[in-house]
Copies of this chain bind each other. A is one copy, B any other.
Amino acid sequence: MQELSKQEIELLRILQLNARFDITDLTERLNMSRTSVYDRIKKLENEGYIKDYVAIIDPKKVGLNFTVIINVSLNSQRLELVEEFSRQVAALDEVVEGYVTGGIFDYVLKVVVKDPEAFNDFIRKLSDIPNISKVQSSFVMSYIKQSTKLHF
């Protein structure tokens, strides 16, 4: 894959801070014409550098006051079982993030729900997925940082 130019990197850095950009405003910062900026953005979108443009909603404002980091271990690491687990976990709306990890646990999930009761309901749903051997939850008491900005 082709390397990104300095202008393209700068562009991505700007965009990941603001998705409601006005192309005309970007021309000054990038020292490019209106249409060049337009073409670059389209190129970065088409080539998959930009996956999405999203609005970040404040979870507390919409009543989601309970975030939990869950560590999960499975009984078996057989590919088909792992894939089945991943598939089912991804389908759960409460799961915001999910990772397969190396280390003590096999999976780390981040779950956002309304309250402890909703979390209890979630854990019940999670437990229905076969092959789980161990679940350890750490509830989030406060946010230090929550960002979508990547450092590159």
B62 touches A4 (CB 8 A): yes
Smallest CB gap from A112: residue in B: B150
Sorting the interface of chain A by its residue count into under 10, 10 to 19, 20 to 34 or 35 or more gives 35 or more
Smallest CB gap from A148: residue in B: B54
Contact of A19 among B20, B105, B141 (CB under 8 A): B20
A141 touches B54 (CB 8 A): no
B144 touches A98 (CB 8 A): yes
- The docked-state distance in angstroms from the alpha carbon of A95 to that of B149 is 10
- Which A residues between 33 and 83 are near B, CB-CB below 8 angstroms? 47-59, 61-64, 67, 69
- The docked-state distance in angstroms from the alpha carbon of A4 to that of B52 is 26
B145 touches A95 (CB 8 A): yes
A152 touches B64 (CB 8 A): yes
- The docked-state distance in angstroms from the alpha carbon of A143 to that of B100 is 6
| Least Cβ–Cβ distance between A143 and chain B, in angstroms | 6
Smallest CB gap from A17: residue in B: B54
Would you give the 0/1 interface string for A114-129, flagging 1 where the beta carbon is closer than 8 Å to chain B? 1000000000000000
On chain B, the residues within 8 Å of A101 by CB distance are 69, 138-141
Given contacts A51-B56, A96-B145, could you give 18 more A-B pairs where the C-beta distance is less than 8 Å? A15-B55, A15-B57, A16-B57, A19-B19, A19-B55, A50-B57, A54-B149, A57-B150, A63-B152, A69-B108, A94-B151, A96-B150, A97-B145, A98-B143, A98-B144, A104-B136, A104-B138, A107-B144
